[in-house]
Amino acid sequence: MKEILSENSSQNTHICGPVPVRENKTQTDFSIQKERYPAGMTSVTFREKSISEIADIAHAAGLSLIEWGADRHILPGDRNAVKEALSCMERYGLSCFSYGSYYRIGDGEPDTFRTICETAKALGAHVVRTWLGRKPSSQLSEEERLFLLKQTKIMAGIAAAHGLILAFEFHGGTLNDNGKSAAEFLTECEMDNVKTYWQPLAFGDSEANLRAVLPWLCTVHVFHWDTENRRYPLSLAEAAWRGYAEIVRAANNLPCPLPFLLEFVPGDSDEQFLADAKVLEDILHG
């Protein structure tokens, strides 16, 4: 396929401190858990940081994976941003698990999605994140739903041609806004490379939603917000997140690895992010 990545300008660099070391597990068990359920971050957690600064703080937090956002850090087709991200990740031994696009299924524009997939592939990503339409599931007509199904299959074919999984953000304002709607749609889709993210929502039963989408789960976004989108330290929701992690661990036939990615912290604070990363590490591997 023709190379269409552009030569846009990128970001600055600097170095952060060492990775903290944890010693409360045997090395063998710890390594297995780290491999199966790695902890990572979304770059959009800090939209104002540079590419290099994102890699720095991921390293400082002891994380292994980054989901690069397509709206700020690495725009689709930005060759220079991709090169810088690869260099920064190599510096610290980080990997890109997913490319967080804002492509809306149903918008058409297959060439736009091809550029997104090319960028994801260049980053070494396994997953390209998309959004399933522009309406909540309760407001979609059957005709609109079938159109989204048709468009999903077209875009999933493009993703498959690039060796990528297409996954839907689990989010309000889309068809993928509750477990029942998501499971029904994914069942009808019948494509092996179509999966879903999951995150707790401000409405509905989060545990029930998680259980409903487990057969298609590929990534979990981790944060602690209230119904007014006010952000809180992850430690205040540690019990709930331990419950979610246990549901994932108890499931059969889930992909390996299945990452848990930190997304957003109170005040966009570096210190709070590092604290949340320690909480997540303890939930997953402690």
Is there a contact between 10 and 80 (Cβ–Cβ < 8 Å)? yes
pLDDT at position 70: 98
Coil/strand/helix, residue 251: coil
Ordered by start, the domain boundaries in the chain are 40-285
pLDDT at position 154: 98
Is there a contact between 180 and 151 (Cβ–Cβ < 8 Å)? no
Task: Collect the ranges in the chain with pLDDT lower than 50.
Answer: 1-4, 6-30
pTM: 0.88
Closest CA to 41 of 223, 163, 210: 223
- The domain made up of 40-285 has a fold known as TIM Barrel (3.20.20)
Q: What angle do CA 173, 174, 178 make, to 5 degrees?
A: 95
The whole-angstrom separation of Cα 205 and Cα 152 is: 26
Is there a contact between 119 and 78 (Cβ–Cβ < 8 Å)? yes
Structure token digits, residue 263: 């997304």
pLDDT in tens, 117-156: 999 999 999 999 999 999 999 999 999 999 999 999 999 9
pLDDT in tens, 66-91: 999 999 999 999 999 999 999 999 99
Amino acid letter, 237 = A
State residue 130 phi and psi, 5-degree precision. -130, 175
Residue 260 pairs in a beta bridge with 39, 220
